[in-house]
A and B are shown apart, each in its own frame.
Chain A
Amino acid sequence: MAFRDSVGGRAFLANLWRENPVFRQVLGICSTLAVTNLLKNTLLMCAGLVFTTALSSVTVSALREHTPRQVRMMVQVLIIAAYVILVGIAMKAYFPEVHKVIGPYVGLIITNCIIMGRCEAFATKNSPWPSCLDGLGAGLGYSLILIVIAVVRETLGFGTLFGVPLPAADRWWHQWTIMVMPPGAFFMLALVAWFGNATVRSREGGKT
């Protein structure tokens, strides 16, 4: 069976673009806006989120036969929190200066609705391997949007990319300070959501 026809594969691909968690389902917006003014912070945040979505989906799915329905939310939150603690410890150990800036937002991965949403919508009904792919797809779909936003915000706002200045930036480049401040994040996300929605909708319109 081809990858794109299997249950997990289909979910993986759908989460990447057509059902993208950020602009199609409007989930997990908080961190999307908060960590995207420097590309390095963004990449670390994405890595943490992909790790957490994939593994918590697997765990929730593996335990789905043994979890009573009434307490499943609490169980999911605890599973997610356990993985987030791992991410937090790892980041503190290897990237202490990044942790200082985005530390609280790493903790907030727990309440990132993408993870909870994938656990609830997919992992409670499917076996571990497709759930892993589904979580991975959602995490990567989220990362894709974050990286796009971060590239634009960092180049326009600081005139750098990955902390490296653009060639001869000081001679011709004037920094748009607004892009690294909160309003810039709101405007960028609105533009990306507009673009994404327009493309997805026009493609769907073409099919039917």
Chain B
Amino acid sequence: MSPVLAAAAPQANPGLPAQLLVILLAAALTDNILLTRFLGMCSFLAISRQMKTSVGLGVAVVFVTTCTAALNYLIHVFITVRLGIEYLEYILFIVVIAAFVQLVEMIVERFLPPLYFALGIFLPLITVNCAILGVSLFMITKEGYGFWQSTVFGLGSGLGWLLAIVLMAGIRSRIREDKIPEGLRGAGITLVITGIIALAFVGFSGMLTF
């Protein structure tokens, strides 16, 4: 049986919808891609200064991770594994992501100009957000993930990233006027806060197994 069918067949008792829900929650909360896997830190540190841009970038990331996780899963199963060229996956994945971001940019510019201007530079920047490539690379290391599981894993990871950056933007707007030691301003204090948020998230780890 092909891996797609094997994983999609309702063999486990909870059934596919329940399993997908668990994957979604686990990827977004207990296994948060930013707070426990450290992916997407660069844009997180740079962008989380303002709430509005954080939300814009976060939504774009959710959309792109979901779609590229699905696409890269299909590439993994039907092209690289079948031909035995797994070592080329890095290149294929990054090309898919770059091409997809380009495509999304063109579509948004053509049909939704207001959103295009609101997102501005962040849309192309997504290509180099390591969370996107990271989702694709972690996804293929998971055992028994089928097409839907992978897509939902992408969606959940994206939502987790959105949640983290919105949380951080809210906190940073509150501490803007505070007295922070000179050397700790900017990235330093953001890392400390991230650590504290991560403590809360790590507390939940192990509650959901998938």
Q: Contact: B42 with A113, CB < 8 Å?
A: yes
- Contact (Cβ within 8 A) B38 A29: yes
CB of A190 within 8 A of CB of B88, answer no
B121 CB–A CB distance under 8 Å: no
Contact B98 A77 (CB under 8 A): yes
B131 (CB) vs chain A CBs: closest residue: A30
CA distance in complex: A175, B194 (Å): 23
| Minimal beta-carbon separation of A2 from chain B (angstroms) | 32
Q: A141 to nearest B CB, angstroms?
A: 16
Contact-residue size bin, chain A (C-beta under 8 Å from the other chain): 35 or more
Could you tell me the distance between the alpha carbons of A121 and B210 in the complex, rounded to whole angstroms?
Answer: 43
Q: Find A195's partner among B37, B98, B183 (CB 8 Å cutoff).
A: B183
Interface of chain B, main secondary structure? helix
Residues in B whose Cβ lies below 8 Å from that of A77: 94, 98
**Bound CA–CA A32/B183 (angstroms):** 19
Choice from B40, B90, B130 contacting A88 with Cβ under 8 Å? B90
Whether A104 and B134, one on each chain, are in contact in the complex, defined by CB atoms closer than 8 angstroms, is yes
With CB as the reference atom, state the residue of chain A lying closest to B184: A194
Cross-interface CB contact of A186 among B129, B134, B141, B195, cutoff 8 Å: B195
A9 an interface residue at 8 Å Cβ cutoff? Answer: no
- The answer on a CB contact under 8 Å between A108 and B39 is yes
CB distance from B47 to the nearest CB of A (A): 12
Contact of A186 with B187 at beta-carbon distance under 8 Å, contacts A84-B90, A113-B42 already known:
no
**Interface-side segment among B18-26, B57-65, B196-204:** B196-204
A82 at the interface (CB under 8 A from B): yes
